[in-house]
Amino acid sequence: MHVLVLGAGQLARMMSLAGAPLNIEISAYDVDSGNIVHPLTQSVIGNGLHNAIERADVITAEFEHIAHDILAICQQSGKFLPSADAIKAGGDRRLEKALLDKAGVRNANYYVITSRQDFDDAIEHVGLPMVLKSALGGYDGKGQWRLKQRDQIEAIWHEMEQCIAATDTQAIVAEEFVTFDREVSLVGARGKDGSVAVYPLAENVHTNGVLTLSTAIADTELQQQAKQMFTAVANSLEYVGVLALEFFDVDGTLLVNEIAPRVHNSGHWTQQGAETCQFENHLRAVCGLPLGSTKLIRSTAMINILGEDTLPPQVLAIGGCHIHWYGKEKRAGRKMGHINVCGDYNGELQRKLCQLAQILDKHAFPAVHEFAANFSE
């Protein structure tokens, strides 16, 4: 079985590693260069989308922001999963919101802005404070504004107007500001036969809008809510593959914040913490194979490595610590890899996170140090 992945980053890399034991070959299409590359070595093994499609049995994607003409070609081949519509919904907040409404799942009150009049109407409809997000592009905290007071309106509109004018298809989605207890996410898979398997919820910590720490949690009530909403969204899209839903936990009630139609950063913990990792389950789903067990096999957390290309070797001296590098060139703030840390039970995992705080740089790994400080109180 040969799977072509649109995108040649770390998610394609980890799909390749997960696919090898199943004899699933992975190649990656670099949407910027048009090259077909090996996802591990990044060596060029071909060129051109049509050539890549011809060789593939299945086509999938590792990210949402893909040109619509590329998606159309892949969809026309009859090989593309989950679907062009699913990828578009993950890359356009207007489509995402419409999907959530159609699926009947709770999300923040919103308003779409393409003009100054829309902005004024949004302020009245949504109210202050509000969060404003570009409909296209923008992630890891980029392309977003917070409007707290009316004296900020003109300055923020000036920036938003420039963003809207940048392309003919851009808009801003205004959302009510949700006061939440924590952010959680659910990663799950839906097979070709409609079967659904979801992983335990993960509690996520973000620093400056970027995920820094994700920990698998056990919460029966929230898990049930999350699975119901996951199933509603996945069935609405007739989805095939791994899908992630990000939530706000508001006093025990979940609101969907965003969806990601792909394997997801907050699911990397499944490589060591679950019986079948998210990358293998995505491949199983799109290749028409039975889904693997999503059972938690040990307490696990994932730590993002941002802007660092080395780690103290003492990290590997801690039992249950696994480093996953992405083979990227170092750049400030860039996701360079992640650490999965495991324990036989929650207390052991917590102690290992505290051990890591004594080893890892405070500025590079703020969430780990914050956890350790709170744990010791």
The CATH class, in words, for 182-376 is alpha beta
- Name the percent of the chain in helix, strand, coil, to the closest 5: 35, 30, 35
Q: For residue 141, is pLDDT > 60? A: no
Dist CA 11 CA 138 (whole Å) = 19
Backbone region of residue 251 per phi and psi (left: phi > 0; alpha: psi in -120 to 50; beta: other values) = left
Out of 3.30.360.10, 1.10.357.10, 3.30.1490.20, 3.40.718.10, select the CATH number for domain 109-176: 3.30.1490.20
* pLDDT value at residue 375: 87
The number of CA neighbours under 13 Å toward the Cβ of 306 is 22
Instruction: Look up the pTM and report it.
Output: 0.96
Helix (H, G, I), strand (E, B) or coil at 116: helix
- What does the pLDDT look like over 280-333, one tens digit per residue? 999 999 999 999 999 999 999 999 999 999 999 999 999 999 999 999 999 999
Banded pLDDT at 140 (limits 50, 70, 90): low
Please give the mean pLDDT across all residues of the chain: 96
Q: Can you tell me which residue has the tokens 């929650």?
A: 346
Instruction: Please report the sign of the dihedral spanned by the C-alpha atoms of residue 370, residue 374, residue 375, residue 377.
Output: positive
> Is 3.40.50.300 the CATH number for 2-80?
no
- What does the pLDDT look like over 45-99, one tens digit per residue? 999 999 999 999 999 999 999 999 999 999 999 999 999 999 999 999 999 999 9
Helix (H, G, I), strand (E, B) or coil at 118: helix
Spatial contact of 28 and 63, defined as CB atoms under 8 Å apart: no
The sheet that has 25-29: what strands, in order across it? 44-47, 35-37, 25-29, 2-6, 58-61
| Angle, helices 153-165/116-126, rounded to nearest 10 degrees | 130
Banded pLDDT at 376 (limits 50, 70, 90): confident
Dist CA 257 CA 243 (whole Å) = 14
Query: Could you state, in order of their start, the residue ranges of all structural domains in the chain?
Result: 2-80, 109-176, 182-376
